Structure 1
Amino acid sequence: MKYCFYLLVFTFLLMAGSCEKLGTAKVVYLAHTLPITHPVHQGMEVFAASVEEQSGGALTVKIFPDGQLGTEREVLELLQIGSIAMTKVSAAAMANFAPEYQVMGVPYLFRNKDHFFSVLEGPTGEAILEAGSEYLLKGLCFYDAGSRSFYTKKKPIRTPEDLKGLKIRVMSHQMSVDMVNEMGGSATPMAYSELYTALQQGVVDGAENNPPSFVTSGHYEVCKFYTLDEHSSIPDVLVMGTKYWDTLEAQEQEWLRAAAKVSATAQKQFWEDNVAECMAKLKAENVEIIRPEKSLFANKTQAVLEEFSKDPRMRKLVEEIQAQ
């Protein structure tokens, strides 16, 4: 099946290339898995508009949303071989290629939103973005993907003890598994596409995600308790394959860098606006919003931080973030 997928994509790209020439304009292909209504996609639209404006139309970006060219991992692999120029993926997906991205998933590492963005937009964030270049994946900027919190079907989560005996769906991400288990729940990795049915049928008792994902997935129709413990903040990443990046002229690279910064600033506002809309929607749908004492949850996850910090390189990165 995967061979067939790559054959189809390869055929498409063989005709189009990772970029194309339209008249005198060079067109860069950017593929991702989100719907066009998502605030991160809206950020990428700003990126495309900024590239075209700065270059005077000499360089443009064509976006392929909704997973048209594959899953996050599949598209990253296409970037590595130079078949597609750009993508947007979760930092959790990048962690499978560049280990520095794993630090984004450490629970309660960031003190608040201001600390989070000061790290991502400063030297530490720049170093993490550049770390992927060793694996042919150059990060250009981070996009806000909010904070992940628990939502459940049968009972509210007010303290970590309330997670005991509950099966909680998590990403196929070891740190997420360890975090839920340390809190007392039973972490259950599962494909996101299977989650709605699993919640309906009681295969799992809950899950964890940010407000826009909770709403757009329709999971609020099944789960009427949403606990804003905000245990992790895993951003999205705008990525370009180094094989394509290295073919660009210095001016073209600068246009892309500058446009990425413009889009990251705009996307933060798109995200905030969307979260506000989603929280209003949840209230209207009679979802109980719980704001727990976060320190209770943070205290339960110290073992996850300690295990992660056994790697000297990761420990140095954690200490660098904590010191900011």
Structure 2
Amino acid sequence: MTLLKRRAMLGALATGLSTPLWLQSAWAQSATSLKISHQFPGGTISEGDFRDRLSRMFAAEVEKRSKGTLKFEVYPGSSLMKTNAQFSSMRKGALDLSLVPLSYAGGEVPEVNIGLMPGLVTSYEQGYSWKNAEVGKELNRILLDKGIVVVSWIWQAGGVASRGKPIVEPEDAKGLKIRGGSREMDLILKAAGAAVVSLPSNEIYAAMQTGAMDAALTSSTSLISFRLEEVSKALTSGRGAAYWFMFEPLMMSKAVFDRLSKEQQAAIMAVGGELETFARKSAQTDDSLVAAVYQKAGAKVVDLSPATVKKWQAIARATAWKDYGERNENCAKLLMLAQKTL
């Protein structure tokens, strides 16, 4: 690249002007190393938490399809940045990609809490149908407007790990300190008489170990990966039925995505879509595996009945759904569209 072109590139980037096509091509060829951040335990491409594995599989396959023009570094365990800073950093273009529960960004973008709305998604089939349904298209539009590209749609069911009795019926939560994971989950717990604790999943172990928290709702994979069976005496599993599913996509900064070539963008989106089958199968496997892990550790394992799910769903409609729908027009529209998939 000539000195004149290099200066032009730096000038365009510094002033935020529209970048000419030849500069976009130069960027795509020179800025080939992208960072993927997540909060989950690290492993290998073949072993460990499936969310870490998916990140590594994605990195390897995109590098292959882009003929080495794109390379990736995976940073597990919040080793690159704090968990709750990831979404905002992607929006600003300071982080390239992250696999993170979308609801963690609810304080910044209220609409994203649709991704952890109790009682709204009650099966994997329903959750994954969102991608091509009206609700998914609207959510995707909102995220693009906020500077985020959804690369892989990932849904997970979950359960409740408890230091004492199993948390099954709504009345079981009364008087306990429980982690819900989103504003809406906290609302149904409060309605059931619990005191809520807000923290990311990678901080649950310490809180339960010290007694700062009595129970925690999180995905089956996190219940295993963060070894919560070591600090739990009971587990309510999500293997047969669940009143909450969490949307935890692999996302990319739109600012970074837009700087890549069309071929690189196509490779990223194609691989992201293909890995959704792996994600769904892995999440469902963990829904069953978690029960065996906790039983082996001596914990009491309880499953939810359809009748119990409906009890929690009724509370959710009166509290979480109502609160969310009243936050703004986008939220109201998303909730309406999501209910069409029930």
Which TM bucket (shorter chain)? 0.7 to 0.9
1:183 and 1:297 in contact (8 A); partners too: no
1:308 aligns to what? 324
1:61 aligns to what? 72
Of 258, 279, 292 in structure 1, the residue corresponding to residue 291 of structure 2 is: 279
Render the CA deviation track for 1:233-258: whole Å, top value 9, x for unaligned.
Answer: 12212222122122112121111111
Whether 1:297 and 2:312 are equivalent positions in the alignment is yes
Of 155, 159, 163 in structure 1, the residue corresponding to residue 169 of structure 2 is: 159
Offset, 1:314 = 1.8
What are the within-5 Å matches in structure 2 for residues 96-175 of structure 1? 96-144=107-155, 146-171=156-181, 173-175=182-184
1:46 and 1:266 in contact (8 A); partners too: no
In structure 2, the CA distance between the partners of 1:81 and 1:187, relative to structure 1 (3 Å rule), is closer
Identity %: 19
| AA in 2 matched with 1:274 | D
In structure 2, the CA distance between the partners of 1:89 and 1:234, relative to structure 1 (3 Å rule), is same
Structure-2 separation of matches of 1:228 and 1:26: 42
Structure-1 separation of matches of 2:266 and 2:152: 13
- Specify every segment of 5 or more residues in structure 1 that has no aligned partner in the other structure, as ranges: 1-19
Structure-2 separation of matches of 1:252 and 1:298: 42
- C-alpha RMSD over aligned residues: 2.7
Offset, 1:202 = 3.2
Of 262, 270, 278 in structure 2, the residue corresponding to residue 250 of structure 1 is: 262
Offset, 1:24 = 8.2
Structure-2 separation of matches of 1:28 and 1:197: 32
Secondary structure of the structure 1 residue equivalent to 2:249: strand
Offset, 1:192 = 4.6
| AA in 2 matched with 1:116 | G
In structure 2, the CA distance between the partners of 1:166 and 1:99, relative to structure 1 (3 Å rule), is closer
1:69 and 1:75 in contact (8 A); partners too: no
What are the within-5 Å matches in structure 2 for residues 1-324 of structure 1? 26-36=32-42, 37-144=48-155, 146-171=156-181, 173-190=182-199, 192=201, 194-228=203-237, 230-292=242-304, 293-303=308-318, 304-310=320-326, 311-324=328-341
Render the CA deviation track for 1:53-87: whole Å, top value 9, x for unaligned.
Answer: 32233323232222221023333343333333222
In structure 2, the CA distance between the partners of 1:127 and 1:68, relative to structure 1 (3 Å rule), is same
49-58 vs 111-120, which deviates more?
49-58
Secondary structure of the structure 2 residue equivalent to 1:76: helix
2:139 and 2:334 in contact (8 A); partners too: no
2:9 aligns to what? none
Secondary structure of the structure 2 residue equivalent to 1:208: strand
In structure 2, the CA distance between the partners of 1:53 and 1:168, relative to structure 1 (3 Å rule), is same
1:183 and 1:301 in contact (8 A); partners too: no
Offset, 1:121 = 4.9
Secondary structure of the structure 1 residue equivalent to 2:121: coil
Offset, 1:158 = 3.5
Structure-2 separation of matches of 1:29 and 1:199: 31
User: TM-score if structure 1 supplies the norm length?
Assistant: 0.83
Secondary structure of the structure 1 residue equivalent to 2:274: helix
